[in-house]
Chain A
Amino acid sequence: MNVWAIKLFAALLVVFATSMTGFSVARNYRERPRHLRQLQSALQGLSTEIGYGATPLPDAFAHLAATTRDPISTLFSVSAQVVSRPGATAAEAWAEGLEQLQTKSALFSSDIQILLQLGSVLGLSDKTDQERHLLLTAQQLQREEQKAEDDRQKNERMWKYLGVLSGILLVIVLV
């Protein structure tokens, strides 16, 4: 009796572990399109700050950090912090912000790469040029978002089932 109880407990533990793994992979599939979408609207916000407000970049970053949600706000809060240091360039600040963003978000490194390219031009040209670069980056992110959405539909549910089912399979095999 006691042995069976332990076995049941262990089996539950195994199923729980594999399910969790499956769910977390599924969650990444679900989160990535959402993060990409939020980034697009954040870039649009940045474009407005630059184009209409001519807000200096450190202030614009700070505004966006306050108006976006985690984890996207991390990108802007870190960048705002770094860019305010004397002698810092926007490119350095943006790269540091992206580094932090990557650890906190479901974004692929290819997504981060797209954003990284933007850093080398941020703040270094007139309004129209800045707006163009921001629009371009947002469009690239939109394409990635569509792909990410397809991936999600294909994989999210599968990984959830896979997690649970592989746990059950494992239990059956082991018992």
Chain B
Amino acid sequence: MQFDWMGIYALLPADWQELIRLSNPVVLARLQEIRVRQGQPVLAYATGAEYLLGQKGFQTQAIGAVRASAEHIRHLLATVSKNSLYALEEELRSGYVTVAGGHRIGLAGRAVVERGRVKTLKHITGFNIRLARQVKGCAKRLLPALVSSTGLVDSTLIVSPPQAGKTTLLRDLARALSTGEGLKRGYKVSIIDERSELAACYQGVPQLDVGPRSDVLDACPKAEGMMMALRSLSPEVLVTDEIGRREDTEAIEEAVHCGVSMLVTAHGQSFEELERRPALASLLNQGAFGRFVFLSNRQGPGTIEGVYDRQRRTSAALKGGTTLERLGD
């Protein structure tokens, strides 16, 4: 697992940098999230476990834990905004900033509301730093189950509860299809990345590898983005994360009618659960998807619970209970 840890490092106050250097390297390598709040201990999360920043780096004991001072917060605000908070109006409205390296930093503060809509954030005192990480090759074993012998990609719905690796899997599927890894050829892929999570674009350039044939519509609303991509980017595969709204359904129907394969994800655990959501139920009824992949956390992130075809029969390619390679690290 590699990620641009240095990109985050440079943002942090110098005294924290020194402490973090003392951390167990294994913890650092698995770090997913750093949470900073004024007056509170600095927390980090790695594969489900919680750590505090203290005299031994990220540690489990509360002794010697450091707290974020107003000065620390000011430092973070300066570095995260590149000293130009006033230039980040759009980002503040959406509540997060993407920095070089593709890491996403969620912000908490006081909302300034104008005409019933959030205009900007003021008095920012909370940072949730989510490290962008890519698990290249994690889709390798799944890929053959999604591409038919004639080279057509089945429209696939990846269903999983949170933190089970669906975004990571989706990203690698997009990368593998775009690269043509283990396939006869590469596919033209369009990624609608509403929350800048899939490609982690920084100033429009993907910070994570999404393949050489991928176009990314960054921060673009999903339904609108799917239509834009269909009109102008001539994709063979359309990739987007977390569908479930009405307008998404229409866009997906449109795409399927155009003969474009969809690769999408949704929250959930079972067909029954999906059918309770009207927008998804109508897609299921129409047979928009040719493959369903269910993920869970049972044996760590990326446990495949089952792969099903259009008729909801278990696909022979992958048995339930398989863990996707390296995703569980």
Contact = CB atoms under 8 A, between A and B. Distances in A.
A16 to B, nearest CB: 49
A36 B162 CA distance: 58
A126 B11 contact: no
Nearest to A60: B84
Interface in B103-136: 112, 120, 122
Interface stretch (A20-28, A86-94, A99-107, A160-168): A86-94
B43 to A, nearest CB: 21
A136 interface: no
Given A125-B86, A126-B86, A89 B79 contact: yes
Given A126-B120, A126-B122, A56 B87 contact: yes
Contact of A56 (B9, B77, B83, B120): B83
B82 interface: yes
Contacts of A127: 86
A89 B75 contact: yes
B10 A86 contact: yes
A17 interface: no
A42 B27 CA distance: 48
10 tightest Cβ-Cβ pairs between the two chains A and B: A123-B83, A89-B78, A90-B83, A87-B10, A86-B10, A56-B84, A57-B83, A54-B87, A127-B86, A57-B84
Nearest to B120: A126
Given A86-B10, A89-B75, A126 B85 contact: yes
Interface residues of B, number: 20
Contact of A89 (B9, B83, B87, B120): B83
A123 B88 CA distance: 10
Nearest to A79: B83
Interface residues of A, number: 23
A147 B36 CA distance: 46
Interface of B: 9-12, 74-75, 77-79, 81-87, 89, 112, 120, 122
Nearest to B75: A89
A58 interface: yes
A124 to B, nearest CB: 5
Contacts of A113: none
Given A87-B79, A90-B78, A126-B122, A55 B85 contact: no
A54 B83 contact: no
A32 to B, nearest CB: 29
A130 B83 CA distance: 12
A122 B83 contact: yes
B249 to A, nearest CB: 37
Given A86-B10, A87-B10, A89-B75, A123 B81 contact: yes
A83 interface: yes
A90 to B, nearest CB: 4
A50 interface: yes
Nearest to A87: B10
B69 to A, nearest CB: 14
Nearest to A89: B78
30 contacts: A54-B86, A54-B87, A54-B89, A55-B87, A56-B82, A57-B83, A58-B82, A58-B83, A86-B10, A87-B9, A87-B10, A87-B11, A87-B12, A88-B83, A89-B74, A89-B75, A89-B78, A90-B78, A90-B83, A120-B74, A123-B78, A123-B83, A123-B84, A124-B78, A124-B81, A124-B83, A125-B85, A126-B85, A126-B112, A126-B120
